[in-house]
Amino acid sequence: MTFADWLAETKARVDRDGMAGVRTSADELWIGALRRADRFADPGVNIYDRSWDALVILDGCRADVLRGVAHGYEFLDDPGTHRSPGSTSYEWMERTFTDEYADEIANTVHVSANPFTHQFLDADRFALLDEVWRDAWDEEVGIVPARPVTDRAIRAGRERGSDERLLVHYMQPHFPSVPRPLGGSATLDEWRDGREMAWQGLRRGEFTEREVWGAYVANLRYVLDDLEILLDNLDAERVAITADHGNAKGEWGIYGHPNVPLDVLRTVPWFVTSATDRRTHEPEIESGKRSDPTDETVAERLQALGYTEDETG
């Protein structure tokens, strides 16, 4: 966007929204300025430059929050951090699955709930790319729940060769929160249909920090409960638990996770554990349910997660 474009959009917003339009445009200008700092930022470490047999991505997970709940989960006993190359899921995908790591990618079974795989990943490059979001999207909550991802990952782990790496990408704790949706008002409706998100509601004062933080932590615990099931039904000597990016709750005036190189967005957790298949859970997978959403449907689902048309188009 050029400065002239920004001025034109600002005028339209002010005419439509008054002072709220001024604040939106000011935020947009600030984010644009921060983006320019990306060329000077630490580029991060590719996941393939670290050691793992299975890798779990918790979408949008802050390192401090995972550390804060770790005492409640025996498998979170080896904490660390990792420098992600991206601040958004699509940026992380673009900078992770590159030609430089073609051999490693070809040996990776990738089970993903993130709809950006549709635009930024080539299934032919992987040993298997299982796009769970295509047939397990829950329209009521506006996201892929954790269990279908767990079930598909367990199946992949049992059916694929032990020489292949397994990468499992959950959508939680990314909003919307499955166990604790922010609720009851028109703002929630806007948030669910893609025009609003919890972090932006916090920025505008429509939700309190306690409400948003409580929903975020509950969503993290929700996915960790499922991760516990996965680890009891998978054989992997070294399992790393990390995130594609973090989330900001006001640091540097940023809310959510625009593609700006803030430490709170790029410094993500890195816990190491192991997994043993004790056969305590049998996956429930409906065969023949797979669908192929149109580009329009994919864009709608990404917007329901808070991404703008510029980011999804």
CATH number (domain holding residue 77): 3.40.720
Residue 53 lies in a domain: yes
The predicted structure's pLDDT at residue 261:
80
Q: Which two tokens stand for residue 216?
A: 């975020």
pLDDT for residue 188 is more than 50: no
Residue 77 lies in a domain: yes
pLDDT for residue 34 is more than 80: no
The more confidently predicted of residues 43 and 6 is 43
Q: For the chain, how many structural domains are there in total?
A: 1
Residue spans of beta strands (DSSP E) within 151-300: 165-170, 236-242, 248-249, 255-256, 267-269, 271-275
Residue 29 lies in a domain: no
What would the pLDDT profile of 259-299 be if each residue is shown by its tens digit?
A: 888 899 999 999 999 999 999 999 987 644 445 666 666 66
The predicted structure's pLDDT at residue 191:
35
State the Cα–Cα distance between residues 138 and 282, nearest whole angstrom.
21
pLDDT for residue 190 is more than 50: no
Residue 35 lies in a domain: no
Residue 124 lies in a domain: yes
pLDDT for residue 79 is more than 90: yes
Quickly list H helices, 160-203. 186-192, 198-203
Dihedral angle computed from the Cα positions of residues 184, 187, 191 and 196, in that order, rounded to the nearest 10 degrees: -160
Stated pTM of the model: 0.83
Residue 223 lies in a domain: yes
The pLDDT confidence band at residue 138, using thresholds 50, 70 and 90, is confident
The pLDDT confidence band at residue 139, using thresholds 50, 70 and 90, is confident
State the Cα–Cα distance between residues 14 and 196, nearest whole angstrom.
19
Q: CA-based angle 73:76:77, to the nearest 5?
A: 110
The predicted structure's pLDDT at residue 260:
84
Per-residue buried b or exposed e for 20-47, using 16+ beta carbons within 10 Å of the residue's own CB: ebeebbebbeeeeebeeeeeebeebebb
Residue 282 lies in a domain: yes
Domain that residue 229 falls in: 42-308
Residue 196 lies in a domain: yes
Q: How far is CA 65 from the centre of its chain?
A: 15
pLDDT for residue 21 is more than 60: no
What would the pLDDT profile of 191-228 be if each residue is shown by its tens digit?
A: 333 344 788 888 888 899 999 999 999 999 999 999 99
The more confidently predicted of residues 254 and 244 is 244
